[in-house]
Structure formats: C-alpha cells, structure tokens
Amino acid sequence: SNLLGNAMRHGSSERPITVDLDGSSHDSVRIAIANGGCIPPDLLPTLFEPFRSTTSRGGREDGLGLGLFIVRQIVLGHGGTIAVESADGRTAFHIELPRATVLAPPAAAES
C-alpha cells in the first residue's frame, strides 16, 4: 500500500499507475509498481534510507521519510529484493520475493 500511495501522490495524474504481478517462476514472485513521474537521480542512492523526507508536488513536506525504508525492511525480512528505476518520465519499483523462505535452524541449546 505504501508503494501505491507514493505512486498516486508523486506521479502524474494524466498517466496510469501500473501494478504487474509475475508468478511464472517456480522460485519467486515479482511485483512491479510504476507511475508517470521521475525521481531526481541524486535522490536514488538514498531513497530507501530512513528519515529522508520528501517534498510533494504541492511544495509541502510529505511524511517522516520512513515509508520506503519500511517497505525495504519488509521485503528484506522475507528474503527478497527491491530496486527502483526512474527515467524517461517513468518510475518503477521492482520487488522479487521467494516463494518459500528458508529459515535457519534454531541455535543448539547449551547444556
């Protein structure tokens, strides 16, 4: 919901938001959320860092700067990856999640 909210808030109202779900792989599921809009290249390296507030189209501060950080932490917590690309008037977030998470065995109890 955070990525969709960001796409609505920061994208172009004249261009559609797309959500693609690809479950064709046996090992993973891919999700892509894209909108019409660009993120300045100098912001891309720190986009997922906490407390990086942004300015919306209205010129006001928008949020605490935790939304994309939380999204990344959830994706990483499930063993997945997240990436963003922004060029030619389009921004897309790509998430890949494994179909099954392999958990480490519990630590042996000390006697």
Task: Fill in the amino acid letter for 50.
Answer: P
Decide: 32 and 94 in contact? Cβ < 8 Å. yes
pLDDT band at 60 (very low <50, low <70, confident <90, very high): very low
pLDDT at residue 58 is higher than 80: no
| Mean pLDDT (whole number) for 70-83 | 95
Token pair belonging to 72 = 């990344």
Range in 31-45, 49-63, 89-103 the model is least confident about = 49-63
- Angle among Cα 56, 57, 61 to the nearest 5 degrees reads 30
- Angle among Cα 14, 90, 93 to the nearest 5 degrees reads 115
Q: What is the DSSP letter of 13?
A: T
pLDDT band at 59 (very low <50, low <70, confident <90, very high): very low
Q: DSSP of 42-95, one letter per residue? A: TTGGGTTSTT--EE-TTSSEES-S-HHHHHHHHHHHTT-EEEEEEETTEEEEEE
The reported pTM is 0.79
